[in-house]
Amino acid sequence: MPPDIAVTHISPAEAQAASRLEKLFSRGNAFLGSRVAILGGAMSWVSERHLVAAISNAGGFGVIACGAMGPALLEAEIAATQALTQKPFGVNLITMHPQLDELIAVCVRAGVTHIVLAGGIPSGPAVRAVKDGGAKLICFAPALVLARRFEKSGADALVIEGSEAGGHIGPVSLTVLAQEILPHIRKIPVFVAGGIGRGDAILAYLEMGAAGAQLGTRFAASRESIAHPNFKRAFVRANARDALPSVQLDARFPVIPVRGLVNEGTKRFLEMQAETVRRFQAGEVGKEAAQLEIEHFWAGALRRAVIEGDVENGSVMAGQSVGMVTKEQSIAEIIEELIEQAIAALAQRA
């Protein structure tokens, strides 16, 4: 049995499977400095010091979600995470953050080894600032053309996130993205995300050429997650079909798709859009103001659900993988379960 994938009471077939899994994870582990190349995807309000440190301490790779934090808050969060873990972890920055340069500088000064630039195509200066600072750059590639562009322009690794994921999503499923991108991007590691809840699924993507996987939803409901008990309970109760993308009512007023649990808030969002479109058509409100009203509907809503526990009116972002959250587990339990499922799937073939 390889020393790094710890499984007790294993048969020879399982030992062989563990060794094979170790090999499949080896590129991702070498890149992340982890024991298992499973990233805890950054989740605003959820991915803070405790969850990030717990994921890295359990052998995975935690990622702080900077979200709307300013430089001082981010600096404190990084220091607090470093106090809780000796293991590497990353920081996810949103490209359109008005203080992106300062946030990158904070990460570099604190010795953060991996920076994820999310929410858009990073600018040349942002890419250079990360690289010149000595950190590894991870980008999100929603299509093969962009994956190729990032590979050329200096990204050290990519995440491909399918529309099954929780939070802001693109239009294409991971099943398709993986087929489109994995065979063609070989120079840098590619991590898969979206809808992953089991180890055998991770194994399938590793065998297709992925370097590892990124999970959000399963970790959000973990014991170490600071999310409100109501938020975690909603995850445990929900099925895959409850995690739906936000609905856009009128082509003139675009809505960025966000996948989350359907609740009173999502119903009111539809009613609100209908009323706003009516007022626009009646000439009571201008187009720009109407668009802003629609965009502002969810302002602060994720915090309301995650921190305050208002899962009826807040935004309960969750991936379709939510159906595989069946109880509140520790991060270590979740990671070991994922590894065991992958090993069992491999061993069964022997």
Ligand X SMILES: Cc1cc2nc3c(=O)[nH]c(=O)nc-3n(C[C@H](O)[C@H](O)[C@H](O)COP(=O)(O)O)c2cc1C
Residues that bind ligand X (CB under 6 A): 41-44, 46, 65, 67, 92, 118, 161, 164-167, 193-196, 214-217, 220, 317-319, 321
Please give the DSSP secondary-structure letter assigned to residue 164: T
Smaller CB separation from ligand X, 214 or 266: 214
Whole-number Å distance between alpha carbons of 51 and 83: 13
Smallest separation, CB 195 to ligand X (Å): 5
Smallest separation, CB 21 to ligand X (Å): 20
Burial 268-286 (b: 16+ CB within 10 A, else e): ebeeebeebbeebeeeebe
Tokens 């904070």, located at residue: 106
Smallest separation, CB 296 to ligand X (Å): 18
CB 116 within 8 A of CB 159: yes
Q: How many residues does the chain have?
A: 350
Smaller CB separation from ligand X, 171 or 286: 171
Give 34's contacts (C-beta < 8 A, 6+ positions apart). Answer: 28, 56, 59, 60, 61, 87, 88
Smaller CB separation from ligand X, 1 or 240: 240
Smallest separation, CB 319 to ligand X (Å): 2
Smaller CB separation from ligand X, 193 or 345: 193
Smaller CB separation from ligand X, 67 or 209: 67
Smaller CB separation from ligand X, 234 or 345: 234
Smallest separation, CB 242 to ligand X (Å): 13
* H-assigned helices in 158-263: 174-181, 199-207, 217-220, 229-237
Smallest separation, CB 11 to ligand X (Å): 30
Whole-number Å distance between alpha carbons of 158 and 188: 7
Residue least distant from ligand X (Cβ): 216
CB 224 within 8 A of CB 208: no
